[in-house]
Structure formats: C-alpha cells, structure tokens
Amino acid sequence: MPARNFVYFTAMSIPLEDSHLDIIGKAQRGLRHAEIAEPQSEADIRAAAESLHLGADALVAAAAKSWYPADPGPIEGLECFNTPFDDMTVNSYVVFDPATKAAAAFDTGTDCSGMLDLGVKIEQILLTHIHGDHIMELDRLKERTGAAAFVSDREPIDGAEPFADGQTFTIGSLSVHTLRTSGHARGGVTYIVTGLSKTLAIVGDAIFAGSMGGGQISFEEALRTNRENILTLPDETVICPGHGPLTTVGEEKKHNPFFAN
C-alpha cells in the first residue's frame, strides 16, 4: 500500500490525466480500431482524430499542451484530496453544508487521513464506482466516522448499501441527485450536488479534464452516458473527476477530444 499522504488541490495544482497519446489509445481500444502509428506532425494528429471520431482541434491542443481548464475558484463546502496510487494519483472529495457541517465523502482515495482531519461530520460515504484506488480506505473511513456507505446496485460490494439509479441523498441542506454514468465501470455513478455556490458533478472516472475513463465495460456506453448525463448539464457545472484537475461542463464541450467534434 502506498505511504500515507494527501494534499489539498486546486484546479491548477495537478496535471491533466491523459496525454494525446493516451486519448488516441483509449479511442483505438474502444473502437477496436487498427493500431495507429504515433503521430509525428499536426497533420498526423488530425488524420488520427478523423479516423477515431475525435475532435481534431482539441486533440492538437492536447498534443501541444496548450489547454488547461480554467480554475473554478474556491467553493465553500467542497474539499478536495489527491492521494498517491502506484505511479499516479487519485482524487476524492468531502462535501459539507457550511451551516451545519454535515458532510459526505465521495470515494476515499488511498488515504482518508485528510478527510478525518476536516472538523466536519461525515455521515455518508458515496461511491462513484468500486475500482480499488477509489475505495481503498472504505473500511477505515467507515470505522472512524460511523458513516454508512452507498454504492450502485449495478456494482454491489460488501460494506456498502446498494441503491438504484435516480436515488437522491441530502447533506444537511444540500441536495444530491444520482445519474448513471456507466461504461468505464458497470456501476458508474455521477453525483450532482446543489446548494453550494456552484453546482458540482462528482463523476469518478466517467470523464476527466480533456479525456475520459477507459470504457473498460463498454466504450460506446461510456460515451453515451457521458453525453446524456454529464454534458447536458449547465456549462458552469463544476466537474470533480476521479483523476486530474477540476473542470466544467462548458470546458469539456469545447476542449475534450471525445466530445468536441
């Protein structure tokens, strides 16, 4: 298990999850497309984008490293954590009602120490999906907080109560609505949190700033549920992904190669 460590992060403090080559690789695997040689020029990148149904301008920007999502700024009631997992990092979140300090954890990352030090009352643990880097500290967080954990009934696990698509939760005066964003994971869930200064979409690995999860269950399903249940949200909705920086729906519609066609 990685050494215990966590950091608070802002949208400007961690890198994008995927390079243009990662994006091309995900699209190739998802479409079962013949392997494409590593692009050597902008023309090559644009040709690869056309072949893989990716947004060419967005893919060129990813290769040039010329785009990064605008920092949505501080949001009272949202705390973000970035913890190490092998050669990468994973994000988890605590959302709380600023008036009552009632709180929910969204995933656990690989170290929940920061969550436990916040001085809020974590009453629920809401899981976006059950990949190991997102639930590594579930038992510890439950034991230390006494919180109940919840997970999609499409992906049940011991220690978490299953819920059906469309379930709602509350965090003090805040409302949480669930949307199905499966494809990367069978039980993928996006949690829409309203009541803070900005609406949050806590998406797990469904979508990243400038990319998306690998579509391990179904690439087509991942594309479809992202389009239907994330990218139809208002542009100013803040996307809180499982890896990489915060972004917004508006940013992804313009700059994510999977969707900016």
CATH number of residue 82's parent domain:
3.60.15.10
> In the predicted model, what is the mean pLDDT of residues 216-224?
97
Beta-strand (E) ranges in 97-188?
A: 102-106, 121-126, 148-152, 161-163, 168-171, 174-180
pLDDT band at 166 (very low <50, low <70, confident <90, very high): very high
Name the maximum alpha-carbon separation found in the chain. 56
The reply to whether 153 and 247 lie within a common domain is: yes
> In the predicted model, what is the mean pLDDT of residues 74-92?
95
> In the predicted model, what is the mean pLDDT of residues 151-160?
98
The reply to whether 52 and 156 lie within a common domain is: no
pLDDT band at 261 (very low <50, low <70, confident <90, very high): confident
Residue 129 falls inside a structural domain: yes
The reply to whether 99 and 26 lie within a common domain is: no
Helix (H, G, I), strand (E, B) or coil at 223: helix
Residue 152 falls inside a structural domain: yes
Residue 83 falls inside a structural domain: yes
Residue 72 falls inside a structural domain: yes
Residue 179 falls inside a structural domain: yes
> Which one, of 143, 68, 62, lies nearest residue 108 by Cα?
143
Residue 196 falls inside a structural domain: yes
The per-residue pLDDT of the chain, averaged, comes to 94
Choose between 164 and 4: higher pLDDT. Answer: 164
State percent of the chain over pLDDT 90: 92
- The 3-state DSSP composition of the chain as helix, strand, coil percent (nearest 5) reads 25, 25, 50
Instruction: Please say which residue of 34, 49, 64 terminates a domain.
Output: 64
pLDDT tens digits, residue range 6-34?
444 444 478 999 999 999 999 999 999 99
> Which one, of 111, 91, 92, lies nearest residue 103 by Cα?
92
The reply to whether 98 and 167 lie within a common domain is: yes
Total domains in the fold of the chain: 2
The reply to whether 138 and 103 lie within a common domain is: yes
Find the domain containing 76 and state its range.
7-16+68-255
> Which one, of 260, 122, 95, 121, lies nearest residue 192 by Cα?
95
The reply to whether 239 and 188 lie within a common domain is: yes
> In the predicted model, what is the mean pLDDT of residues 230-255?
98
The reply to whether 57 and 148 lie within a common domain is: no
Residue 2 falls inside a structural domain: no
pLDDT at 4 over 60: no
The predicted pLDDT at position 12 comes to 47
The predicted pLDDT at position 125 comes to 98
Sequence-ordered list of residues with C-beta below 8 angstroms from that of 213, at least 6 positions apart, any chain:
183, 184, 185, 188, 204, 205, 206, 207, 222, 242
The reply to whether 95 and 184 lie within a common domain is: yes
The predicted pLDDT at position 260 comes to 94
pLDDT at 259 over 70: yes
Residue 40 falls inside a structural domain: yes
Query: Can you give the pTM of this predicted structure?
Result: 0.95
pLDDT at 157 over 80: yes
